Structure 1
């Protein structure tokens, strides 16, 4: 009887181990399948941009003003299963304006699995004291969690899951009228989680995938704005927002 119970318990334990191993393997495999790659033409333009320097560093993709110093920085967290390089085109204007940009590479391509603190990425530019953190989609949700160690928060088609309304964070939230994932209604519902003076901007015609150069995304709306116009509008919003950081 004791041997039988032992065999049963052993079978249960090994069964649970197998479930855990298979579950972990499944997550790893799923995280690597269907990653949305950066579109080659916009990325080629970034690499050819003589106004900025682009480095593939351990902390992430680092864009800095060419030959110039920077005293402001942005750590940007990609959306789930989106190639980090897909955000270089829409963020390169910041580097042109003198802001260092670090685009992270989340573990397993999913920001929720990346437990590193903000300093793991700001170490790419240790001389900078003033950092903003931002992100797109689920990357923005993770950025909200990291914002306690930053001076500002930038959201692209995203919203916070936790309450930062009592903080002194400067916040810029940019959304799209045609976003089928982080819909205008969802962003409005989470508005009270942000500080009262958060700047909320909805770009007419922008979809969820308009915030990165990686092509269409399942479940998204149809954009009615060109990539060029989207880049220009976001660049101007970021320029004004970070100019305000200098004024503080």
Structure 2
């Protein structure tokens, strides 16, 4: 009987190891920044500190932004958006996250916030599942976060902001094949009473970053630069309204 139990436990252990290795291998098959990114931003402008990309870290800004990447998307893919926001006068950090899934590392913003004590206000957001993770962090740490922005993303039922006045910006794209317009409409009731919702006409899911086409997405009707510039414009206007 003891031998049988031993074999069962060994079998379970081996199965878990195989499943983990399979997941790990899959999680490393990431969406890398496309060559188009480097026509929008000089690669030398992408600076690293600890395990996140950082823009404008030497400024005296009082407002910081943390941007969680979408699932399996490398942080560099959001560099143009981050750099453009930094030019507006904000510190911007885009972290590496565990197994390339922000939901598995949603507390990462804590380390970033603690690294820049001179920054007085923090806004957190993310793309796709990165936005779900950002909303979770904001919901769990309301005293650390002064606003939430969602890029082709939403907040889950476990993080219901509907009874709060948390400033939230929801940017979604008309042709998004992953976080569809239907998904945005289904979840908007979970947003706060101080939410701004903006549709990017002709935009798609992948162009919330700059990493090329993503399986399951629809083809965009506008250029990636046009979508990114609209994101920057709407985000910066929203920040000016809430800061």
| Fold-level similarity (TM above 0.5) | yes
For 2:186 and 2:50, the matched residues in 1 are separated by 37
The secondary structure found in structure 1 opposite 2:164 is coil
Which residue of 2 is the match for residue 84 of structure 1?
A: 75
Query: Given the superposition, is the C-alpha separation of residues 98 and 214 from structure 1 closer, same or farther in structure 2, using an over 3 Å criterion?
Result: same
The answer to whether 1:169 aligns with 2:166 is yes
1:132-169 residue CA offsets vs partner (Å, 9 max, x unmatched): 00000000000000113311000000000121222231
What RMSD, in angstroms, separates the aligned Cα atoms of the two structures? 1.7
1:20 to 16, 21, 24: 16
Which residue of 2 is the match for residue 108 of structure 1?
A: 99
For 2:12 and 2:37, the matched residues in 1 are separated by 47
Runs of 4+ in 1 over 4 A off after TM superposition: none
Which residue of 2 is the match for residue 63 of structure 1?
A: 55
After the TM superposition, which residues 163-202 of structure 1 pair with which residues of structure 2 at under 5 Å, given as runs?
A: 163-202=160-199
Moved more, 181-190 or 225-234: 225-234
For 1:74 and 1:68, the matched residues in 2 are separated by 13
State the Cα distance separating 1:117 from its structure 2 match. Answer: 4.5
For 1:43 and 1:166, the matched residues in 2 are separated by 42
Q: Is the 2:106–2:133 contact (alpha carbons within 8 Å) kept by the matching residues of 1?
A: no
State the Cα distance separating 1:79 from its structure 2 match. Answer: 0.3
The answer to whether 1:127 aligns with 2:118 is yes
For 1:82 and 1:191, the matched residues in 2 are separated by 25
1:59-81 residue CA offsets vs partner (Å, 9 max, x unmatched): 4101117x642111111000000
Structure 2 unmatched ranges of 5 or more: none
The answer to whether 1:242 aligns with 2:239 is yes
Q: Is the 1:43–1:85 contact (alpha carbons within 8 Å) kept by the matching residues of 2?
A: no
Aligned length: 237
State the Cα distance separating 1:17 from its structure 2 match. Answer: 1.0
For 1:28 and 1:48, the matched residues in 2 are separated by 28
Q: Is the 1:176–1:208 contact (alpha carbons within 8 Å) kept by the matching residues of 2?
A: yes
Q: TM-score, normalised by structure 2?
A: 0.92
State the Cα distance separating 1:129 from its structure 2 match. Answer: 1.5
The secondary structure found in structure 1 opposite 2:9 is helix
Q: Is the 1:177–1:203 contact (alpha carbons within 8 Å) kept by the matching residues of 2?
A: yes
Which residue of 1 is the match for residue 128 of structure 2?
A: 137
Structure 1 unmatched ranges of 5 or more: none
